[in-house]
Amino acid sequence: MVTAKSLIIIIVALVAVLVAAIHFKLFDKGVAALIKGLVYYPDKTLVADPSAAGLAYQSIDFQAGDATPLHGWWIEGEMDAPAIILFHGNAGNISHRIYLAAELRKKLGVAIFLFDYRGFGRSEGEPFEAGLYADGMAAARLVKDKGWAENGLIYFGRSLGAAVALQTALDLAPDGLVLEAPFTSVREMGGHHYPLFKPPARFNKIEAYDSLEKAAEITSPLMVMHGRLDRIAPFEMGRKIFERSTVAKTFIELPNSDHEDGFITDHDIYIKGWREFLERFKN
């Protein structure tokens, strides 16, 4: 027979369990939000368009597979030149990559499609890992469906964009894959920059972007470019991804470069690496 005293104990225990569960859930949500806050720094304002760098372009509105509205710019290339899809990093938007695109277009003659992930620039929604992969796939399908890839298609991912480009390459293989300043995974990046912040293992799959784990699955010719002085994604991370891959591959060390500034600080090495990689696409 349950006494009044034992009933009170049971009720108190149940309340304690409920409170603990609520706090646990709130803790999980808080940690997940913190991780996402450290990964994404989108900017909704486009500060310029390609005409600022003397480039003619088309503004393209398209949708991800889940119907999220996305936006990008198509820059026509020279006749018989391959097309590049530029997967930018975790901050800003495509307007902050105009001068990189202009340098590639003017020096290499390539066509370029720049697009913003969900939550960046004019693209709607909120960024999250699976969503960015869907956005990358939508961009790749768009370029193929438009017939813009007839002379070859290269995915070019920089920093976080390297992880998105790599996953897109596994889902829909391009003719070539270029990764600039890639990192191995968000967890390793977190351990490098915030050694005291160690989320429980159950958070490993939240915004994981585990490129090192996927590198062996790459089937397209690969070029990895990495700044020796990179203070964001350490140089060794790029080497690890390169060494894990098993395809025809090239590694370009940018000796004077930090994170994503190689086209400026090591300009000649940067452009030479691109030219040699593009030789394989000549008819």
116-164 pLDDT, tens per residue?
Answer: 999 999 999 999 999 999 999 999 999 999 999 999 999 999 999 999 9
pLDDT, average across residues 35-47: 87
DSSP string, 222-241: EEEEEETT-SSS-HHHHHHH
pLDDT digits (tens, 9 = 90+) for 259-278: 999 999 999 999 999 999 99
The pTM assigned to this predicted structure is 0.87
**Predicted pLDDT at 189:** 87
Residues in the chain: 283
**Predicted pLDDT at 281:** 77
Least confident of 30-34, 176-180, 244-248: 30-34
**Predicted pLDDT at 283:** 62
pLDDT digits (tens, 9 = 90+) for 91-107: 999 999 999 999 999 99
Alpha helices (H) in 40-116, listed in sequence order? 98-108
Query: 160-171 and 129-145 helices cross at what angle (nearest 10)?
Result: 60
Q: What is the dihedral of CA 273, 279, 280, 282, to 10 degrees?
A: 150
**Predicted pLDDT at 27:** 47
If you ran DSSP here, which 8-state letter would residue 124 be given? -
**Predicted pLDDT at 10:** 55
For residues 125 and 109, what is the distance between their CA atoms, to the nearest angstrom?
A: 33
**Predicted pLDDT at 190:** 82
**Predicted pLDDT at 38:** 74
**Predicted pLDDT at 212:** 97
For residues 122 and 145, what is the distance between their CA atoms, to the nearest angstrom?
A: 22
Name the average pLDDT for the chain.
89
| Percent of all residues in the chain with a pLDDT value above 70, rounded to a whole number | 83
Query: Parallel, antiparallel, or unpaired: how do β-strands 91-92 and 111-116 relate?
Result: unpaired
pLDDT digits (tens, 9 = 90+) for 217-246: 999 999 999 999 999 999 999 999 999 999
Give the burial string for 69-92 (b: 16+ CB within 10 Å, else e): ebbbbbbbbeeebbbbbbbbbbeb
For domain 40-281, the question of CATH label 3.40.50.1820 is answered with: yes
